[in-house]
């Protein structure tokens, strides 16, 4: 089922998600819906708060549904180490039509649980590193807007307000 993606400034986007403690059918349904919603929006990642579920769950698929083996589910993820710096363009499904350069670590190591509760660790570089940091930020209630320079943030906020005024947001 495709779920509705909430847009900035919905308060749920700025709240830390609740840790997941039950690895049940409800969680599996949420994850399946999140993949479906991501593909329908042509995104590469989505965090549960973006579909109105304040939980520490995120899905990533850099192949956008083309390679089943690329489907990645991270439950209760945390970044355990990071290195380097990369300044590159980023977007967010909760900010339609906004793309902006954001500084991120170039490499990260993440620890997370899978949909069954099993812990695993993984490394990500470049786009995967960026995506992991962006989605894990969502689970902490941090939006990519706050990762922008103050100048870029203000420009984008002005753009959003203009779109809101025109009924385009
Ligand atoms: Ni996002």
**In CATH, what number is assigned to the domain containing residue 93?**
3.90.45.10
Q: 18 C-alpha to center of ligand 1: Å?
A: 17
How much of the chain, in percent, has pLDDT values that exceed 70?
100
Residue 91 lies in a domain: yes
- Residue 4's pLDDT is 98
Residue 105 lies in a domain: yes
Q: 72 C-alpha to center of ligand 1: Å?
A: 16
Q: 61 C-alpha to center of ligand 1: Å?
A: 13
* Residues with active-site annotation: 135
Residue 76 lies in a domain: yes
Residues 6 or more apart whose Cβ sits within 8 Å of residue 132: 60, 74, 77, 79, 108, 110, 124
| Mean pLDDT, all residues of the chain | 97
Query: Mean pLDDT across the stretch 102-127?
Result: 98
- Residue 127's pLDDT is 96
Cα 98 to Cα 4, 23, 90, 159, 160, distances in angstroms: 18, 34, 8, 9, 9
Residue 5 lies in a domain: no
- Residue 22's pLDDT is 98
Distance CA 28, CA 116 (A): 9
- Residue 118's pLDDT is 98
How does residue 93 score in pLDDT terms, banded at 50, 70 and 90?
very high
Closest CA to 138 of 58, 75, 72, 60: 58
Residue 20 lies in a domain: yes
The structural domain count of the chain equals 1
Question: Is residue 165 classed exposed, middle or buried when 0-12, 13-18 and 19+ CB atoms within 10 A define those classes?
Answer: exposed
Residue 57 lies in a domain: yes
The boundaries of the domain holding residue 57 are: 11-165
Q: 22 C-alpha to center of ligand 1: Å?
A: 24
How does residue 89 score in pLDDT terms, banded at 50, 70 and 90?
very high
Residue 1 lies in a domain: no
3-class state of residue 142 by DSSP: coil
Residue 2 lies in a domain: no
């Amino acid at each position: 089922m495709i779920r509705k993606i909430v847009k900035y400034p919905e308060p749920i986007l700025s709240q830390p998600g609740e840790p997941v403690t039950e690895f049940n059918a409800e969680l599996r349904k949420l994850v399946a819906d999140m993949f479906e919603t991501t593909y329908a929006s042509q995104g590469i990642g989505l965090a549960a708060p973006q579909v109105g579920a304040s939980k520490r769950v995120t899905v990533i698929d850099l192949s956008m549904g083309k390679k089943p083996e690329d489907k990645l589910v991270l439950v209760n993820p945390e970044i355990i180490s990071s290195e380097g710096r990369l300044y590159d363009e980023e977007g967010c499904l909760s900010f339609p039509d906004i793309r902006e350069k954001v500084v991120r670590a170039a490499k990260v190591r993440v620890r997370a649980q899978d949909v069954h509760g099993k812990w695993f660790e993984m490394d990500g570089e470049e786009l995967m590193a960026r995506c992991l940091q962006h989605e894990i930020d969502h689970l902490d209630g941090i939006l990519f807007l706050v990762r922008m320079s103050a100048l870029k943030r203000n420009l984008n906020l002005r753009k959003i307000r203009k779109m809101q005024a025109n009924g385009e947001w």
